[in-house]
Structure formats: C-alpha cells, structure tokens
Chain A
Amino acid sequence: MDEDIRLIESYLAGSEDAIEGLVMKYQRQIYAFVYRMINDMEEAKDLTQKTFINAINSLRGFRQESSFKTWLFQIAKNLSLNHIKQNRHEEVEVEESLTGDRSGALSTIIEREIKGHIRRGLEGLPERQRLAVILRVYEGMSCSETASIMGCSEGAVKAHYHNGVKRLREILKEKGYEIKS
C-alpha cells in the first residue's frame, strides 16, 4: 500500500516509470478478475489495459479514501459490468465440451464436470452476487473492501455472497453433484 502511494506520488511528480510499476504489480489480478467477470480472454485482455489507462489518467482525482487496489478494482468492475450490459444480447450459451475429453480416471472426469458446472453457475448468477463471490473467494477481498468496490454496505455484501454460494450449491445439487468435504 505504501509502495502504491510512493508510485502514485512519483508519477504525479512526473516519473512515467511509476506507471509501469503500478501495472506490473496488479496486472495479473486485474486480468483474472475481469476474465472471471466476462469469461472472454481477448475482451479481458482489452479491458485490463483499459482499466489501467483509465486509472492512470484519473490518478490526479484519486483521493486516497480507499486503497489504490480497491480503486483499481472499482474501475475494472465498472468496465466489466458495462461490457456485460453492452454484450448481453450477443450472449450465446457455449456448452462446454466435456464429452470431448473423457480420458483419464473417473474422479478426474467428475472433477472437471463439477468445475464446469461451477463456472457456468457463476456465470448465471445475478451480477451483484457474482461480484461478491468473485471478490471474496478469488480475489481474497475482505467484506469491507468488497463493499467499497461494489459501492454498497458490508451487510449487503454478506447477503449477496451467501445467496451466490447458496445458489451455486443448489445448481450442483440439481446436476446431481453433492459437494461434501
């Protein structure tokens, strides 16, 4: 966090090298987050770049009310949601070809199928639930960080997260997979 502030101040003081420092630090996380939101690798690459360009261009307006990371994720979230809205009509159900590669042990096949169902289940969740689950589970954000990114209360984050997880469990149950420890 201190490193982020140092890089930001350095950029504002005229050092363009600082841009590269900030991008290098967060590019993998932002790409993974955007990909999980939109499920399209090429678009995710594009939106990752846009996220950083928008962030750097708005850096003078960054008030440090939240961490740079949270702020960056807010930008990535907004771009992802805009992308989803703009491309909603073009969405085509792409059924994962699980039958194409059925080699290997039965347990591996089942494992792969479960992951496929989870991924599709996650895709089918309402936006806010999907955001809460992705940020909490994959990005390791706390409830307060997630709330800040989503622009809602921590209570709302908890509700969205639990409804999302509950729905995923139901989907797996409907498909005949009972996840047990």
Chain B
Amino acid sequence: MRLSHDEIREMLPDYQRGAISGEMRGHIETHIRGCEDCRAELSLITEMTGIMVPDPGELFFKTLPKRVRTSVKEQGVKGLSLKALLFRPLPATATIAALIIITVLFTFTKKKETSEFDPYFKDPFTVAVLDYGGITEKDIPLIEERIPIDELFTYHGNSMGYSYYREFASLRSKELESLYEALRKEQKTGVPKKS
C-alpha cells in the first residue's frame, strides 16, 4: 500500500493517539522519517495534546448526572401544560381541529352581524342574486307613503352617505318580498295613481 503525503498528514492525529496499528503504522513511520513537514506537524499535535483542560472537580462530575435528571424531570412537568398539550401528535390534531371550528364559527357569525348592522355592507351572495332592475325612482313615492321618512334622508344620500338606494340595497330578499307583498295587497304595485 502506498499512501500520499496528504493522506498520511490526515492520519497524524490518529497516529499520535495510537489509533493506527499494524502495517499502516509502519507506512506512516517510514514516511515521517523522511518528511520534515509531517514531523513538525506531529510534534505540534503532540504539544497540543499535552495541554490539559482545568479540572472542574470531582464533585461536578459526580453530581452532574443527578442534576441533569432533575432538570429534565422539572422541565418535563413544566412543559406538560404547553408543549405536551399543544405540540404532541394527538393533542396537536385536536388543537388544529378546534382552531378550524372556531375560525369557521367566527367567520359565519361575523358575516351575519355585519350584514345586519353595517349600512355599507354588501352581501356578495344577496347582491348578486337580487335584481333591482325593476325598481325605479318612480316606485319610490309609493313606498314613501308607507314608510316614515327621516327628513335627513334624501334619494341621493345625506352627508353621512345614507340614501334610499342604500336602504334598499341593504334589504334582504325576504324583506324585499315582504315589502312587495304588502304593496301588492294594497294594490300599490305598478304605475302610481295619478292624483
């Protein structure tokens, strides 16, 4: 077996530690005898391994296993409420499911509330289905007769932007149907009476 200079240099820490034996050790020794660079590197490694770390004391090593065990146990108890309950597989699935249900409920509840109280709200489903094409400005006086009118309201909107158009737009289909039914009963649909 023939080893290159670089390959032998790679093995010097292992050689110095005595981790290489047999034929391989013989090859390395032969190379080192003729290679000043490897000899110098081996000497440096030998010097380095002679540098000891300060001893922290036997007490440290004797008590460390127990301290680690206690800390792990304490952290395990602390972590049980959050980590174990939220992030372990089964609770995590339950948590995600609960979050989805809460989100869905919140979304639907919020939508309902908004459509009832926000005059600017346009329910995309209702707006898309309803056909306001049949209602013209001529129809408005008919309704005017039945509905108490706030004088601040105008056909085209007051300073706050309120108007009958918006008022109509905010009505639900059932409300419009009821309104239409009431008008029909009183025969106030179609062309207004001429006075």
Contacts and interface: CB of A to CB of B under 8 A. Distances in A.
A, B from the same assembly: yes
Interface of A: 16, 19-21, 23-24, 27-28, 31-32, 35-36, 41, 44-45, 48-49, 52-53, 56-57, 114-115, 118-119, 122, 133, 136-138, 140, 142-143, 158, 162, 165, 168-169, 172, 179-181
Contact of A115 (B50, B65, B73): B50
Interface of B: 9-10, 13-14, 16-17, 19, 32, 39-45, 47-51, 53-54, 56, 60-61, 64-69, 71-73, 75-76
25 contacts: A27-B65, A31-B53, A31-B56, A31-B60, A35-B54, A45-B56, A49-B64, A53-B68, A53-B72, A57-B72, A57-B75, A115-B47, A118-B44, A122-B48, A133-B48, A136-B13, A140-B14, A165-B44, A168-B44, A168-B48, A169-B40, A179-B44, A180-B40, A180-B43, A181-B43
A27 B47 contact: no
A5 B37 CA distance: 42
Contacts of A169: 40-41, 44
Contacts, number: 99
B30 to A, nearest CB: 14
Given A23-B68, A24-B65, A158-B10, A44 B51 contact: no
Chain A CB count within 10 A is highest, among B42, B47, B66, for B47
If over half of A's interface residues share one DSSP class (helix, strand or loop), that class is named, otherwise mixed; here it is helix
A32 B64 contact: no
A163 to B, nearest CB: 13
B125 to A, nearest CB: 47
Q: Which 10 A-B pairs have the closest CB atoms?
A: A20-B65, A181-B39, A23-B65, A35-B53, A52-B68, A179-B43, A19-B69, A32-B53, A56-B72, A181-B43
B100 to A, nearest CB: 26
Nearest to B83: A57
Contacts of B67: 49
Given A140-B14, A142-B14, 14 more contacts: A16-B73, A31-B60, A49-B71, A53-B71, A114-B47, A118-B48, A137-B48, A158-B10, A168-B44, A169-B40, A180-B43, A181-B32, A181-B40, A181-B43
Given A180-B39, A180-B43, A41 B54 contact: yes
Contacts of B72: 16, 19, 53, 56-57
